[in-house]
Every structure is written in structure tokens, then in C-alpha cells.
Amino acid sequence: MGEPRTTYDKKRRAPKPLDPVRLNDLALAYVARFATTAAKLQRYLIRKIRQRGWEDETQPDIDGLVARFVENGYVDDAVYGRAKAGGLVARGYGERRVEQALRADGIDETLRARFAPGEYEARGAIQHLARRRKFGPFGQPRATLDREAGAKLYEKQLAAMIRAGHNFEMARRVLDAATEEELDEWVAEASDLDYERRD
């Protein structure tokens, strides 16, 4: 038999404290890897300074660094916000959840309002959620259940839609639809409404 393997306990060297150059390099690596907002980049840099320390004589200019990244187009809150909102709506989330997610990512109120789903998008999102989760006309008809079980199922599905950011009226409209075709018409009708509002 061979000799037993020896395990060496290599101590990880602590990373060097940050200075302006290292902070800039960290910021560049971060924006290269992740789509982000100015606020998220700022929070990341503050966290890194807290973890690693700061060795330069001058105070870190995080605001200036983030502003330069925005000016150079490395960080664009509008592009990020549009993509994030579109992705959430496509996954079936409603206006309230979109707004909460954008707020958490530091998107300002004006942009949050701009990227809020319109009526057509909101109806399409809740229809997508209902189809994916087999709610309302996409699932088991409540008429096949006894009264108590049907009521519990209705409440459970209603609560899930509200947690996903949809309003109460819209969630009830979906759950009360008799057929999938009825919901298709309801979504298509919103396309006409949005078109009329733009004119």
C-alpha cells in the first residue's frame, strides 16, 4: 500500500485592502458580469470596502466612480429597468411585483412608472400565470368539486395571483372565466383599449 495522503492546510491569504485602482477594477469586473443599476453597483462597492478595508489616504469616491460608469454607458438604469420589467411580466408577474422589484434595484420612480405594464401586458401576464399554474378555466372545473373544496381552491388560486402582484379584480375576472376562449377575448380586448389610449 502507498503512503497515506497528507492534507496541507493552506491558509487563504486575505485580499489586500482596496484603493482607487482596485475599487475601479472591482467595479469593472462587476458590471462585466452582471446587468446592474447605479444603486446596485453603489451597494456592491460599499459592501466590498466594508469587507476588505480601505488603504488610501483619501476617502473612497464611490458616487464619482458610479457616475463615471453611468456616463460611459457601463450602467444604464433605463435599459436594466425595461429588461427586468419585461422579464417579470413574461413570467406572469403583475404590476405591483414589477414595481417592487424595480424599487429594490434602485430604479427611480419616473422609470418605474414608465416600465409598469399596460392593461394589455397586465392581462396577458395574469393569463400566462393562470395557464402555467392551471388556475381558473385552465384547471379542474370547480363544478366538479363539492362546495367547500371549490371555495378553498378558489381562495387559494386568488391568493396566489395577488401574491404575484395582480390586482383583486383582475384575479377574480380570470378565475370566474368559463372558458379559455373567454380569457383570450378579454386579453385581446385590452390590446384595442391600449391602442385607443395612444391615439
pLDDT of 199 over the 50 cut:
no
pLDDT digits over 119-144, tens only? 999 999 999 999 999 999 999 887 78
Q: pLDDT for 156-194, tens place per residue?
A: 999 999 999 999 999 999 999 999 999 999 999 998 766
* Contact yes or no for 95/164 (Cβ under 8 A): no
pTM: 0.84
pLDDT-based confidence at residue 12 (cuts at 50, 70, 90): confident
Joined grid coordinates for residue 104: 429594490
Nearest-angstrom CA–CA distance, 62 and 69: 11
What is the model's pLDDT at position 172? 97
How many CB atoms are located within 10 Å of the residue 160 CB?
15
DSSP state of 106: T
For the chain, the structural domain boundaries read 20-75, 77-117, 118-199
